[in-house]
């Protein structure tokens, strides 16, 4: 168990914008930050972070909370794991009691696999740095590749000895189960035999965005033609190669800072670039680029530069994969190195300034680069040139931005010396074909044209629990303005000279919390939503003991579901900032100060709703003949309807 004081130290130190900024590119939006949701495949930002309130809200998935809840949601960590991650980030020492055997046994299978991988990483490092075989074989190989000690430590490089089951035996002797060694792919078990998958190889650990070891890559050092040169961990519960980029953990901050990501092919390319001072670089680890990998980069930056070696045949084969990057709406550039060079060798032979200059001067827009490369290959062959042109237009059709499409068509027309009209016609044909194919997919949504009005479902089509929504507003008001004092216009039920009921207004200055609390107590109103009820009780407890709500303390006392509701209550009113309504001449009143009418109308609305429910109950009792005197019931119903009419008049509702 982690001590409460350690948890509080983490909560005090953690800045939600810093924690989330390690995973998502955040842009300033008023007093808040916005970015792309890491939980859905969106292209327009619906993720908001409030540095003032130290909470976040994802409007596309509905998730929200504080820094701890983000790490739990994003990395699938347990609460203690999230605390430990943040403690490590902020250099906070954790006080923890020893786990019992039962607690260790209760650890999840995923966690067991992470623990096995973490042990293996340390084993490989120790084997390379502290054994004669490791130093003479593994360490000398990395030194020959030009890697210094800092790079070796940064990327946690290691060595697996030639012995058949050195890792397996050591892990089992330390209490790790063979079951999880096999599931992670570290050990291969056949019949009664077991042996190490990576024996006799130098090791490249593959990390998650938070630095956890997902799997390993191993390079053989002997000339054994039967063995694969590179070997990766097999797919497992925690390692999916299509969803991982090598070096992203080490590069994430630099990618966001530089607002650009360099994409290379291999492990050594990443390490050599990083060592040379170019740290915003990742690798797809020799596999074809996937949509999931592209989205990992897209969370940090919309710009990507693909680095190719001088092999022209390899470049052409890789061009097709870049179309997927265009489909995600990203800006793509391409940079090739001189013939015979690759990113690894080029970085080894040049200093940081030379590399940065070369990348800046040689990086070309992808569409322009592709057009020039294929046009040169087609030379003067008309049929080949037509095929090349169609290939380029196919790439342009992948781009979601219509303005970009038009500009690229004009560029292509200039390079290929084909009329723009023909190219636009070809583009229209390709897009029409794409839409026909896409319609076969039930989730298809046609590309929206400029200024096209998209009909929204009417309010009547959505079933809304009115009482829950009013309860949500009350929680939001208490969290945002509970400690503020303001002047309210109260409505009191009185008889006029004719003996009829009417609502008389009266002005009073009150603290918002006292006002809402007393109104709810007076009418004996209880929350119907259990989560809102829990939050309300916590708020009452806070205001009873202190002057203002401390969101850090409040969030520490609640679970993830309650945290999500709190962030929704505080940030839902900021949703307009994500869509930049002010740019469309739609201006929203700032929410920094309380509007007394909002409190009064919310309470009146809640009263009117409860009166409506009472009238329905009385009407139903007459239908069911459960009342002895229908006359009394009708009289009571009539009085309630009068009261409903009075309240509706005050809140501006037509009955």
Strands 47-50 and 32-35: antiparallel
Q: Are residues 81 and 117 in the same domain?
A: no
Cα gap 545→543, rounded to integer Å: 5
First to last CA, the chain: 58
pLDDT of residue 101: 61
Q: Looking at the structure, do residues 616 and 533 belong to the same domain, yes or no?
A: yes
- Give the HSE-up count for residue 640: Cα atoms under 13 Å, Cβ half-sphere: 19
- Is residue 191, in this structure, part of any structural domain at all? yes
Q: Is 430 exposed, middle or buried (0-12, 13-18, 19+ CB in 10 A)?
A: middle
Q: Based on the fold, state whether residues 616 and 638 are members of the same structural domain.
A: yes
What helix, strand, coil percent values describe the chain, rounded to 5?
A: 55, 15, 35
Give DSSP secondary structure letters for 149-160: HHHHHHTT-EEE
Structure tokens that stand for 557 in this block: 């006392």
Inter-residue contact 197 to 164 (CB < 8 Å) = no
58 and 87 in a single domain? The answer is yes
d(CA 124, CA 166): 10
Tally of domains in the chain: 4
CB count within 10 Å of CB 530 equals 10
For residue 644, is it within any domain?
A: yes
3-state secondary structure of 247: coil
The count of C-alpha atoms lying within 13 angstroms of the C-alpha of 117, restricted to the half-sphere facing its C-beta, is: 28
Beta bridge partners of 203: 158, 218
Half-sphere exposure of 534 toward its Cβ, with a 13 Å CA cutoff?
15
CATH code (residue 433): 1.20.50
84 with 111, same domain: the answer is no
- The pLDDT, as a whole number, for residue 303 is 93
Q: Which two tokens stand for residue 108?
A: 């999840």
Chain position carrying tokens 């949703």: 575
Provide the β-strand partners of residue 511: 485
| Residue closest to 363 by CA, chosen among 336, 331, 325, 335 | 335
Q: Which of 239, 266, 281 is the last residue before a domain boundary? A: 239
Distances (CA, A) of 449 to 481, 575, 581: 42, 24, 19
Q: Is residue 435, in this structure, part of any structural domain at all?
A: yes
Question: Which CATH number does the domain housing residue 169 bear?
Answer: 3.90.980.10
Q: How far apart are CA 423 and CA 388, in angstroms?
A: 12
pTM here is 0.67
My answer on whether 96 and 114 are in the same domain is: no
**How many CB atoms within 10 Å of residue 360?**
9
On whether both 73 and 188 belong to a single domain, the answer is no
Q: State the Cα–Cα distance between residues 226 and 179, nearest whole angstrom.
A: 28
Return the ∠ at Cα 402 (arms to 397 and 403), rounded to 5°: 120
Element (H, E) at 58: strand 55-58
Whether residue 453 is contained in a domain is answered as: no
Strand 261-264, strand 303-308: pairing: parallel
Q: For residue 18, give both structure tokens.
A: 């810093």
Helices (DSSP H) in 131-196: which residue ranges?
A: 132-133, 140-144, 149-154, 166-173, 178-183
CB 596 within 8 A of CB 86: no
> 643: Cβ–Cβ under 8 A, 6 or more apart, which residues?
493, 501, 611
Q: How many CB atoms lie within 10 A of CB 6?
A: 18
Same domain, 93 and 123: no
For residue 53, give its domain range: 4-101
* Domain end position, chosen among 69, 101, 133: 101
Same domain, 494 and 372: no
> Do 608 and 518 share a domain, yes or no?
yes
CA distance 145 to 359: 22
Would you call 460 helix, strand, or coil by DSSP? helix
Residue with tokens 């009143």: 589
Calpha distance 301→24 (Å, rounded) = 8
Residue 341 in any domain: the answer is: no
Burial class (CB in 10 A: 0-12, 13-18, 19+), 545: exposed
Return d(Cα 356, Cα 361) in angstroms, integer.
9
Residue 520 belongs to a domain:
yes
The pLDDT of residue 586:
40
Rounded alpha-carbon distances, angstroms, from residue 156 to 63, 255, 459:
34, 20, 56
Go through 546-569 and write b for each residue having 16 or more CB atoms within 10 A of its CB, e for each that does not.
eeebebbebbbebebebbbbbbbb
CA 563 to chain CA mean position, Å: 17
Per-run averaged pLDDT (10 residues), the chain, 655 residues: 81 89 86 86 83 84 87 81 89 75 62 93 97 96 95 97 95 94 94 91 93 94 83 92 92 88 93 96 84 87 87 68 84 89 92 94 89 79 86 88 88 88 89 76 51 42 70 83 78 66 72 79 79 83 68 69 78 59 45 70 77 74 63 60 58 42
Residue 449, pLDDT score: 46
Residue 416 in any domain: the answer is yes
What distance in Å separates the CA atoms of residue 234 and residue 493, rounded to the nearest whole number? 73
Among 388, 420, 439, which residue terminates a domain?
439
Under 8 Å between Cβ of 247 and 274:
yes
Task: Tell me the three-class secondary structure of 300-369, residue by residue.
Answer: CCCEEEEEECCCHHHHHHHHHHHHHHHHCCCEEEEEECCCCCCHHHHHHHCCHHHHHHHHHHHCEEHHHH
CA distance 212 to 206: 8
- Kindly state whether residues 143 and 190 are assigned to the same domain: yes
- The C-alpha atoms of residue 187 and residue 180 are separated, in whole angstroms, by 9
Question: In the prediction, which pLDDT does 588 show?
Answer: 42
**Whether 207 and 120 share a structural domain:** yes
| CA–CA distance, 211 with 215 (Å, rounded to integer) | 11
**Token pair recorded at residue 176:** 């790790």
Partnered with residue 228 across adjacent β-strands are: none
State the helix-helix crossing angle for 67-75 and 560-571, rounded to 10 degrees: 120
The 3-state DSSP class for residue 441 equals coil
The CB density around residue 574, as the number of other CB atoms within 10 Å, is 20
Q: Name the nearest CA neighbour of 184 among 220, 155, 214.
A: 214
Specify if 247 maps to a domain.
Answer: no
What CA–CA distance (Å, rounded) separates 650 from 600? 10
Residue 485: enclosing H or E segment and its boundaries? Answer: strand 485-495
Which SS3 state, helix, strand or coil, does residue 490 take? strand
Asked if 204 and 155 count as a contact pair (C-beta separation under 8 A), the reply is: yes
DSSP string, 358-427: HHHHH-EEHHHHHHHHHHHHHTT-HHHHHHHHHHHHHHHHT---HHHHHHHHHHHHHHHT--HHHHHHHH
């Amino acid at each position: 168990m982690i001590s409460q004081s350690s948890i509080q130290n983490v909560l005090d130190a953690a800045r939600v914008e810093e924690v989330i900024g390690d995973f998502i590119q955040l842009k300033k939006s008023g007093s808040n930050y916005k970015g792309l949701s890491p939980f859905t495949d969106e292209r327009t930002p619906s993720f908001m972070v409030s540095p003032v309130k130290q909470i976040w809200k994802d409007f596309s998935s509905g998730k929200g909370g504080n820094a701890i809840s983000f790490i739990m949601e994003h990395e699938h960590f347990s609460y203690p794991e999230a605390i430990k991650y943040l403690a490590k980030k902020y250099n906070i020492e954790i006080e923890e009691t020893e786990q019992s055997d039962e607690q260790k046994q209760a650890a999840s299978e995923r966690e067991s696999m992470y623990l096995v991988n973490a042990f293996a990483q340390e084993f490989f490092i120790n084997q390379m740095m502290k054994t004669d075989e490791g130093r003479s074989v593994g360490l000398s190989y990395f030194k020959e590749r030009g890697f210094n000690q800092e790079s070796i430590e940064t990327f946690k490089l290691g060595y697996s000895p030639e012995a058949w089951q050195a890792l397996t035996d050591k892990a089992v002797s330390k209490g790790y189960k063979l079951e999880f060694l096999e599931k992670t792919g570290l050990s291969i078990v056949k019949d009664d035999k077991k042996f190490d998958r990576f024996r006799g190889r130098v090791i490249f650990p593959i990390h998650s965005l938070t630095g956890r070891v997902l799997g390993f890559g191993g390079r053989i050092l002997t000339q054994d033609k039967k063995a694969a040169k590179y070997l990766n961990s097999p797919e497992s519960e925690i390692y999916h190669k299509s969803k991982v980029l090598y070096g992203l953990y080490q590069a994430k901050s630099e990618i966001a800072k530089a607002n650009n990501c360099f994409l290379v092919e291999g492990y050594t390319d990443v390490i050599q670039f990083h060592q040379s001072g170019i740290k915003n670089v990742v690798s797809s680890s020799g596999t074809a680029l996937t949509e999931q990998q592209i989205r990992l980069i897209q969370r940090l930056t919309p710009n990507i530069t693909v680095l190719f070696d001088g092999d022209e045949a390899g470049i052409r084969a890789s061009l097709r994969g870049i179309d997927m990057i265009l489909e995600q709406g990203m800006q793509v550039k391409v940079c090739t190195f001189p013939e015979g060079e690759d990113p690894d060798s080029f970085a080894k032979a040049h200093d940081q300034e030379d590399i940065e200059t070369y990348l800046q001067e040689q990086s070309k827009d992808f569409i322009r680069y592709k057009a020039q490369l294929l046009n040169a290959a087609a030379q003067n062959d008309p049929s080949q040139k037509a095929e090349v042109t169609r290939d380029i237009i196919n790439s342009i059709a992948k781009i979601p931005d219509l303005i970009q499409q038009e500009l690229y068509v004009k560029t292509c027309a200039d390079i290929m010396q084909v009329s723009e009209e023909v190219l636009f016609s070809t583009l229209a044909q390709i897009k029409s074909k794409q839409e026909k194919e896409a319609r076969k997919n039930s989730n298809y949504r046609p590309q929206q044209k400029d200024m096209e009005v998209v009909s929204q479902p009417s309010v009547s089509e959505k079933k809304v629990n009115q009482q829950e929504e009013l309860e949500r507003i009350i929680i939001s008001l208490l969290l945002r303005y509970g400690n503020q004092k303001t002047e309210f216009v109260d409505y009191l039920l009185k008889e006029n000279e004719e003996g009829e009921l009417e609502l008389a207004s009266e002005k009073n200055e009150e603290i918002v919390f006292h006002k809402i609390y007393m109104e709810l107590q007076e009418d004996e109103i209880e929350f119907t939503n259990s989560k809102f009820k829990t939050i309300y009780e916590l708020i009452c407890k806070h205001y009873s003991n202190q002057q203002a709500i401390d969101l850090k303390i409040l969030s520490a006392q609640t679970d993830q579901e309650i945290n999500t509701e709190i962030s929704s209550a505080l940030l839902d009113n900021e949703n307009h900032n994500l869509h930049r309504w002010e740019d469309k001449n739609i201006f929203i009143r700032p929410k920094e100060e309380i509007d007394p009418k909002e409190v009064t109308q919310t309470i009146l609305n809640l009263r009117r709703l409860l009166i409506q429910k009472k009238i329905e109950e009385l009407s139903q009792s007459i239908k069911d003949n459960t009342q002895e005197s229908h006359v009394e019931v009708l009289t009571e119903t009539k009085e309630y309807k009068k009261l409903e009419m009075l309240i509706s008049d005050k809140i501006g509702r037509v009955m």
